[in-house]
Amino acid sequence: MKSRKRLLLVVAVVLTLVLGAVGISNAITDGELDGDDHPSVVLLVMDVGGVPRYRCSATLLSPTVALTAGHCTSNYPGPAYSGMRVFTESAVDGGDNTYPTCDGGNCVEALEWYVHPDYEAGPWFAHDVGVVILKEPIYVDEYGVLPTADQLDAMKRRRGLQDTTFTAVGYGLQRINPVFVEADRVRMVANPNLIQINVPGFTGDFSLLLSNNHSTGGTCFGDSGGPNFLGDSNVVAGVTSFGLNGNCAGTGGVFRMDRQDVLDFVNEVLALNP
């Protein structure tokens, strides 16, 4: 129970306010510039009442479908999002753009967005996955792909016999402490290690914990919804979901994409929007 209460306390901080102040999401800390390595990872901006309010990260699974966290596509029980858009790297890293609106280049408005059907029934972190449908296609050299059902369970059974490194990518904060925040809108990458998986009462079978330290790097506010690729592949093992403290240190929580109900939800959207 103590672990569950602690989780509920910290996951309430999950998006980043568009103009830089910390609000609700997670960013790459102690990482490196991603460059051209993961062009499928985009920046997601959400509007409330017609005004840009929050931002997350997302992964293109196809030219018109972006995968993100459920808390990035549903702000239940608050007012509904009135609009969304995604920006590619060149549009947020000094490119020709008018961030956070979509009047400049390399930005596409969302047509609609969905959250896992069990998200609002709660607890939200047990179904923290969402998808965004774009009005126009974005073409990149390589898109993210989904894992197979229960693929990550093998990491619990053979921890010492396999690589348990992930590749976390996102547009979140690069650093945060009581007196300093670094929040450039640039795509960063880190390589955290698996800390915990399939632990009853905490991560359960729906999420896992990855390292977040100076050695491996990790996620922070603004990286929410961004991918955690399996090793150095383009398989999206999970999306950044929650953190365990306000300084984005220690461990980072990832919502798993390898559960059948999650795959069914995302694949249904992909089938309708190839």
Handedness of CA 164, 170, 81, 139 (dihedral sign): negative
Q: For residue 173, what pLDDT is reported?
A: 64
Could you read off the pLDDT of 216-226 as tens digits, one per residue?
766 776 788 99
Percent of the chain with pLDDT over 70: 74
Give the pLDDT band (50/70/90) at residue 95. low
Q: For residue 9, what pLDDT is reported?
A: 32
Q: Is 101 helix (H, G, I), strand (E, B) or coil?
A: coil
Q: For residue 156, what pLDDT is reported?
A: 84
Q: For residue 249, what pLDDT is reported?
A: 59
**Minimum mean pLDDT among 110-119, 179-188, 246-255: which range?**
179-188
Q: What is the mean pLDDT of the chain?
A: 81
Percent of the chain with pLDDT over 90: 48
| pLDDT over 60 at 202, yes or no | yes
Q: For residue 245, what pLDDT is reported?
A: 57
Could you read off the pLDDT of 35-92 as tens digits, one per residue?
899 999 999 999 999 999 988 999 999 999 999 999 999 988 888 899 999 999 877 7
Q: For residue 23, what pLDDT is reported?
A: 35
Which tops the pLDDT comparison, 155 or 77? 155
Model pTM score: 0.87
Beta-strand ranges (E) seen in 97-144 are 107-115, 130-134
- For 2-26+38-143, CATH number out of 3.40.50.1240, 2.40.10.10, 1.10.260.30, 3.40.91.50 equals 2.40.10.10
Give the pLDDT band (50/70/90) at residue 212. confident
Q: For residue 44, what pLDDT is reported?
A: 95
Would you state the torsion angle of the CA atoms of residues 222, 114, 140, 25, taken in this order, to the nearest 10 degrees? 0
Which tops the pLDDT comparison, 90 or 114? 114
Q: Is 151 exposed, middle or buried (0-12, 13-18, 19+ CB in 10 A)?
A: middle
Q: For residue 51, what pLDDT is reported?
A: 92
Q: Domain extents for the chain?
A: 2-26+38-143, 151-256
Mean pLDDT of 116-130: 92
Token pair, residue 19, equals: 């103009």
Domains 2-26+38-143 and 151-256 share a fold: yes
Q: Architecture of domain 151-256 in CATH?
A: Beta Barrel (2.40)
Query: Under a CB-based contact definition with an 8 Å cutoff, are residues 7 and 51 in contact?
Result: no
